[in-house]
Homo-oligomer: A and B are copies of this chain.
Amino acid sequence: MTSSFEDREITVALLGAGTVGAQTGRLLNQTEADLTPRVGARLRLTAVAALDPENPREGIDPAIFTNDAKAVATSGADIVIELMGGIEPARTLILDAIAAGSSVVTANKALLAAHGAELQAAADEAGVDLFFEASVAGAIPLLRPLRESLAGDRVTKVMGIVNGSTNYMLTKMDEEGVTYEEIFDEARALGYLEANASLDIDGHDAAAKAAILAELAFHTQVTIDDVYCEGISQVTADDVRAAQAMGFVIKLLAIAERAPGDAGVIVRVHPTMVPRSHPLASVRLSFNAVFVQAEAADELMFYGRGAGGVPTASAILGDVVVAARNRVTGSIGPSRNVYAELPVLPISEARTRFYVNLDVADRPGVLAAIADAFAQHGVSIQVVRQDGHGDNAGLIVRTHLANEEALERTVAHLRGMDEVKAVLGVMRVEGEAGD
């Protein structure tokens, strides 16, 4: 610690050399000279584990490639970056690296959402850093602000657009009026969807990120199994038009919030109607954003690229710089091992506003009958909009805050009514003033 920058070296080993891994290695080598004064030492990439080590990656010395990931993980590098993805062998290799005294930087959302607490406990035990800024919302600095800048505040709700593929699809449906089926085919053709498209469109990718966000915002252990998850495949052109008519837009949101009465935490992913004036409404195409409500800070939003090799590499390198600086100064970053341990509650405990789109008979008394159905189940109506006549008579209802069960009972009741020809759509609504 008394030596000058040039004498001190921080070694970095990389597990995985796919798109993000290759960009991270290249960017590290390219910016190393700039980073030296910020780190207080030189960063040196010492080893890269890849499935195809003989394939050269631009900007990385071919001689440091190997297919022996175990050897790289246990090499005792100051910092091990894990970018393989998936649960195993990533989990074991990270635990190996921690046991060897390395600080770890990872972007592995699936692993963190399943085993985050175990990895953090191992890192705390070993006195090393475990950083994962890139695991949620790619390049957006988000986890560090949540951990650090809001450390003296109390977060009440987090709402994120954390899956760029589905946001791209919903943006096109909104702006160009294409159907879900049309845009699904386009997104697949453009390579915007994971090989297993269900990870995107059914909300599983967003759910893993929701678990990580919830854990950081509420200092509570949350796994992906705790997250209610509903994708966008049921979003219809009718829903999009109804949202537009009301001045709303549909977004797939990952939401983590304190339950009423502070009884616990509720974490959910589902298509959501958001007012056009809300900051999340203007997040278009493949961009990501996370909106945070905190008691003192009020409303915050963080916006940027959620994916892509280079943007994600930027976030990883930010973590590497902080971890390296901590090695140089002999400190470690704030750990998460202090949990508030709020219970994670099911979505049935949530209270939200709802939109209900009904195809109704065009005759006198229909509105009164429908209003009565809502009232019978204790669901209070905020706005009703009547459109069309005759065979195309439609009714769009937006409710005040209601609980899930009451809404479900209401919808079942509506489906059984003579006056209702069809329930065209039901969706949760967020982001209105007063929520």
Chain A residues within 8 Å of B, Cβ to Cβ: 23, 27-28, 31, 34-35, 37-38, 133, 139-141, 144-145, 148-154, 219, 277, 279, 281-284, 287, 289, 294-305, 308, 310-311, 313-322, 325-326, 329-332, 334, 338
B314 and A297 contact, CB distance less than 8 A: yes
Q: What's the least CB distance linking A336 to chain B, in Å? A: 10
B31 and A152 contact, CB distance less than 8 A: yes
Copies of this chain present in the complex amount to: 2
Q: What's the least CB distance linking A281 to chain B, in Å? A: 8
Pairs across A and B, CB under 8 Å, 6 listed: A141-B300, A148-B148, A149-B315, A152-B321, A153-B318, A301-B303
Question: Can you name the residue of chain B whose Cβ is closest to the Cβ of A303?
Answer: B301
- With a cutoff of 8 Å between Cβ atoms, the chain B residues found around residue A37 in the complex are 338
B338 and A38 contact, CB distance less than 8 A: yes
A294 and B314 contact, CB distance less than 8 A: yes
B297 and A152 contact, CB distance less than 8 A: no
Q: What's the least CB distance linking A241 to chain B, in Å? A: 22
Question: Can you name the residue of chain B whose Cβ is closest to the Cβ of A302?
Answer: B302
- With a cutoff of 8 Å between Cβ atoms, the chain B residues found around residue A326 in the complex are 331
A27 and B148 contact, CB distance less than 8 A: no
A300 and B296 contact, CB distance less than 8 A: no
Cα-based distance from A287 to B297 in the complex (angstroms): 12
B31 and A300 contact, CB distance less than 8 A: no
CB within 8 Å for A31 and B318 given contacts A133-B149, A145-B141, A296-B313: no
Q: Which 8 A-B pairs have the closest CB atoms?
A: A152-B317, A141-B149, A331-B331, A296-B314, A141-B145, A151-B321, A301-B303, A297-B314
Cα-based distance from A322 to B333 in the complex (angstroms): 10
- With a cutoff of 8 Å between Cβ atoms, the chain B residues found around residue A144 in the complex are 144-145, 148-149
- With a cutoff of 8 Å between Cβ atoms, the chain B residues found around residue A139 in the complex are 296-298, 300
Q: A141-B149, A297-B314, A300-B302 are in contact. List 4 more A-B contacts (CB 8 A).
A: A37-B338, A38-B334, A151-B317, A294-B314
B151 and A318 contact, CB distance less than 8 A: yes
Cα-based distance from A425 to B371 in the complex (angstroms): 54
**Which residue of B219, B296, B322 contacts A310 across the interface (Cβ within 8 Å)?**
B296
Cα-based distance from A297 to B294 in the complex (angstroms): 26
CB within 8 Å for A304 and B298 given contacts A148-B141, A331-B330: yes
Cα-based distance from A46 to B330 in the complex (angstroms): 30
- With a cutoff of 8 Å between Cβ atoms, the chain B residues found around residue A314 in the complex are 150, 152-153, 294-297
Cα-based distance from A149 to B322 in the complex (angstroms): 8
Cα-based distance from A302 to B301 in the complex (angstroms): 6
Question: Can you name the residue of chain B whose Cβ is closest to the Cβ of A330?
Answer: B331
**Which residue of B35, B303, B315 contacts A303 across the interface (Cβ within 8 Å)?**
B303
B27 and A152 contact, CB distance less than 8 A: yes
Question: Can you name the residue of chain B whose Cβ is closest to the Cβ of A304?
Answer: B300
**Which residue of B23, B31, B319, B325 contacts A154 across the interface (Cβ within 8 Å)?**
B31
B141 and A318 contact, CB distance less than 8 A: no
Cα-based distance from A148 to B144 in the complex (angstroms): 8
- With a cutoff of 8 Å between Cβ atoms, the chain B residues found around residue A140 in the complex are 300
CB within 8 Å for A151 and B35 given contacts A282-B279, A301-B304: yes
Q: What's the least CB distance linking A207 to chain B, in Å? A: 24
- With a cutoff of 8 Å between Cβ atoms, the chain B residues found around residue A23 in the complex are 296
Interface centre among A152, A300, A317, A338 (most CB of B within 10 A): A152
Q: What's the least CB distance linking A344 to chain B, in Å? A: 19
Cα-based distance from A297 to B303 in the complex (angstroms): 11
Q: What's the least CB distance linking A399 to chain B, in Å? A: 26
Q: What's the least CB distance linking A27 to chain B, in Å? A: 6
Interface centre among A277, A283, A297, A325 (most CB of B within 10 A): A297
Cα-based distance from A294 to B314 in the complex (angstroms): 9
CB within 8 Å for A296 and B279 given contacts A31-B152, A303-B301, A331-B329: no
**Which residue of B311, B331, B338 contacts A296 across the interface (Cβ within 8 Å)?**
B311
B34 and A154 contact, CB distance less than 8 A: yes
